[in-house]
Structure 1
Amino acid sequence: MTRFFSTLVCFLGLGAAAFAQETMKPEATEIWEPEPRVVTPVVMGKAPSDAIVLFDGKNADEWVAAKDGKAVGWKVEGNAITAVKGAGDIRTKREFGDIQLHIEFRTPAVVDGTGQGRGNSGIFLQGIYELQVLDSYNNRTYSNGQAGSIYKQTMPLVNACLPPGEWQMYDIIYTAPHFNKDGIKVVPAYITVFHNGVLIQNHTEIRGTTPYIGLPKNPAHGKGPLQLQDHSNPTSYRNIWVREL
């Protein structure tokens, strides 16, 4: 008897749902508020209207030397900013959490060295987590250290590198990790990366810090800067902008 009544209730419920579906007006499922704000899209290399432009080729006003917060020692020339050997990493004055990042880079046209010695640099999200920049065009190295890798963690899905000396681009969606009041990571960082329009990291979990030696660590932190690495190679950057998410 119990099973009979359960079946009957289920039948009546489905019948009521079907009746409601047939009698429902299209307007009942239309959402009018809130309305998404209008943003000017990326056109001819220009940043979206709600983006924060971090480098437009004119000056390095948004950046400082990572080691001491003083003026950057990199060279600004030809609408690009280029690493100078020994000048050290540079970082943004602003700090970020979740972002969309567009950044263009160029490894040296003159090939000098092999493996990690060719066009090496890196993009550190929140100043901590490295997305590798490297000349990986016909240049074999360890897969989780080639261009587009989460350094020493996750290799890219494919190698989408252009030849040395050509401008390339990363388009990145990054969500920051969350830590509880005890400093324990409760939500990891995730990153999606398109390299020259090709998906190479698909909502990849970042397991922690990205050291050259050792395993990832997870110190608690808040927002942090975008940092570019001086790895003794004259790698250049241009057209850098972020949208805070």
Structure 2
Amino acid sequence: MIKQFATGLAFTTILSLSLSSCKNATQEKKEEEVHNPASQTIPEESKELLGRWDLTVDKKGTSVPSWIEIKLSGFTTLVGSWVGDSGSNRPISHIKLTNGKFSFAIPPQWEGGEGDFVIEGELAGGELKGTITSNNGEKYTFTGVKAPYLVRDKAVEWGTAVELFNGKDLTGWKPSNEKNQWVVKDGILTNQGAGANLVSEQSFQDFKLSLEFRYPEGSNSGVYLRGRYEVQIEDSPKDKHPGSLYFGGVYGFLAPNEMATLGANEWQKFDITLVGRLVTIVANGKTIINNQEIPGITGGALDSKEGEPGPLYIQGDHGAIEFRKITLTPAK
């Protein structure tokens, strides 16, 4: 009798453990389904805020570009990315949303100083509006519109290549300010030192761009596609791990897959294709970024009007750089 009772008890225990295991497995499966982003329920209060926004900031009477992406992390937490009128893309760890108004704080980057920048805003009539309070107490207003997707619905047909540098003078280009250091020497477009940026008089939408350039030791420059997306030209060490802030990167957003620089005082080449937001960069014969999406404007952009054509602009306010060839093939 005791033996039968023990056997029955053992069976009951095994059955209980089995049912418990099945229950746990069901719960785990349910949790996995809940955590699946494809079936995620977006809170109604934040639904219209999510996405990328092209911002315009009124900075002491001057309009400067900015950009923000707002994303949902988990069930209700809002996070994102921010680009100011200078510096690079920086992460936002938490965006608070209360009664339709959002706010977040980010530490300074290249601005220096102590304390955070505080951004506050709201959605009104399908647009963002708000204020930026700097870490030194200065306050600016901003407005924002949803950034365009820039998806192309058919394959690109290329037009005729255009030489944007004639080898003689600055025809077709204009310096950004009176501190211009750009001259043409022996057929070479030369920025002699930190001064003005150089902006093309023509604007472009989709294109292929070929550049041949050379920089001295320690110098820093870049080329802005449509005047908004900087491809970094910098004297990065050859043994440095590649990153979005170094040679060949799309500043703050896209890192190359290898450090393809030949080093200072060597003629180098970029072949860049930009279609919509998709960019391919070939540096010195190596494809280092392949058909990747550029999320938004980079620091130093001329404007945030991403849906419009824009000029090429070459950074000249950081250091010396030389170009011997600038060839652009526009899409038809």
What CA distance in whole angstroms lies between the structure 1 residues aligned with 2:309 and 2:171? 20
Shift in Å, 1:79: 1.9
Shift in Å, 1:103: 0.6
51-60 or 130-139, larger mean C-alpha shift: 130-139
Q: Does 1:64 align with 2:174?
A: yes
Distance 1:55 1:220, change over 3 A: closer
What CA distance in whole angstroms lies between the structure 2 residues aligned with 1:220 and 1:138? 33
Matches within 5 A, 1:91-110: 91-108=199-216
The residue number in structure 2 matching 1:204 is 292
TM-score of the two chains, using structure 1 as the length reference: 0.64
Shift in Å, 1:231: 3.6
| DSSP 3-state at the match of 1:156 | coil
Which of 152, 172, 193 matches 2:281? 193
Identity of aligned residues (%): 29
The residue number in structure 2 matching 1:75 is 183
| CA RMSD after TM alignment | 2.6
Q: Does 1:55 align with 2:165?
A: yes
Shift in Å, 1:86: 4.1
The residue number in structure 2 matching 1:151 is 251
CA-to-aligned-CA distance 1:169-202 (integer Å, 9 cap, x gap): 00011013xxxxxxxxxxxx11001001100110
What CA distance in whole angstroms lies between the structure 2 residues aligned with 1:158 and 1:86? 28
The residue number in structure 1 matching 2:144 is none
What CA distance in whole angstroms lies between the structure 1 residues aligned with 2:223 and 2:194? 17
Q: In structure 1, give the amino acid aligned to 2:320.
A: P
Structure 2: gaps of 5 or more residues: 1-156
Larger RCO: Structure 1 or Structure 2 (Cα < 8 Å, ≥ 6 residues apart)?
1
What CA distance in whole angstroms lies between the structure 2 residues aligned with 1:52 and 1:66? 22
What CA distance in whole angstroms lies between the structure 2 residues aligned with 1:133 and 1:224? 20
Shift in Å, 1:85: 3.0
What CA distance in whole angstroms lies between the structure 1 residues aligned with 2:213 and 2:230? 15
Structure 1 stretches of at least 4 aligned residues deviating more than 6 Å after TM superposition: none
Shift in Å, 1:235: 1.1
What CA distance in whole angstroms lies between the structure 2 residues aligned with 1:155 and 1:134? 14
Matches within 5 A, 1:1-245: 50-67=160-177, 73-108=181-216, 111=217, 118-138=218-238, 140=240, 143-176=243-276, 189-211=277-299, 219-245=305-331
What CA distance in whole angstroms lies between the structure 2 residues aligned with 1:232 and 1:161? 19
Distance 1:100 1:220, change over 3 A: closer
Larger Rg: 2
CA-to-aligned-CA distance 1:185-220 (integer Å, 9 cap, x gap): xxxx110010011001100110101127xxxx9644
Distance 1:65 1:164, change over 3 A: same
Shift in Å, 1:75: 1.9
Judging by fraction of residues, say which structure has more strand.
2
The residue number in structure 2 matching 1:10 is none
CA-to-aligned-CA distance 1:73-125 (integer Å, 9 cap, x gap): 402112211223343101100000000100111011xx3xxxxxx22101000
Query: How many residues are paired up?
Result: 173
What CA distance in whole angstroms lies between the structure 1 residues aligned with 2:163 and 2:214? 19
The residue number in structure 1 matching 2:64 is none
The answer to whether the 8 Å contact 1:121/1:132 transfers is yes
| DSSP 3-state at the match of 1:147 | coil
